[in-house]
Amino acid sequence: MTSRTDVAAIIDHTLLKPEATPADVAALVAEAKDLGVLAICVSPSMLPIADPGELVVATVVGFPSGQVKPEIKAAEAKRAVADGAAEVDMVINIGSAVAGDFDAVEADIRGVVEASGRSLVKVIIESAALTDEQIVEVCRRAETAGAGFVKTSTGFHPAGGASSHAVALMRETVGDRLGVKASGGIRTVEAAEEMIAAGASRLGLSGSKGILEALGD
């Protein structure tokens, strides 16, 4: 079993529900500090975070559909970074990937990377909505565009969230050059360990506390 400390060190403690309030975000931050996780991930309207302490602050852009014009997505990223986001989780235009327009996918990612400056960009590919071939090509384009991570899912798509198959395929494609974040539907220790074994170097969790408590001390 993976140690509690090791798992906490790769968790993005996440709150992206549209009904979340500033009080909910404050509670998330407090809980994240208590749990000793790496990062929090919140909606961009919740930035800046008043007192993140040592937590990495992440946010999302083009979320959750990805169907935002590239210049708007880039502007959203630029504003998020100005508001204190050290990491930007962007959703690709999934329709472009499904249609095979990978040049558009790459340009979209590149725009966000450039707008984000030194902040890390994680590219949400919505893997459950793509074929294996599409997953591979999107991951390749994300690397070419300068992203630091590829990420499985928003957690909001009806096709589903993370799978160990997608994570393994993503890891195989990017090697050790990029990070791989598994997110969406990871609710048990077993699921978290399965994603880590498949190659995930970051976990996006809303139920971090339960998983970490199940791992013990």
* 169 and 149 Cβ atoms separated by less than 8 Å: no
Active site amino acids: 89, 151, 181
Question: In angstroms, rounded to a whole number, what is the distance separating the alpha carbons of residues 2 and 161?
Answer: 22
pLDDT-above-90 percentage for the chain: 98
Q: Is the pLDDT of residue 48 over 90?
A: yes
80: its two tokens: 């998020």
Q: By C-alpha distance, which of 71, 59, 67 is closest to 110?
A: 71
Structure confidence at residue 148 (pLDDT): 98
Mean pLDDT throughout 194-207?
A: 98
Work out the end-to-end distance of the chain between its first and last CA atoms, rounded to an integer number of angstroms. Answer: 12
Structure confidence at residue 1 (pLDDT): 63
Rounded to the nearest integer, the mean pLDDT of the chain is 97
pTM: 0.97
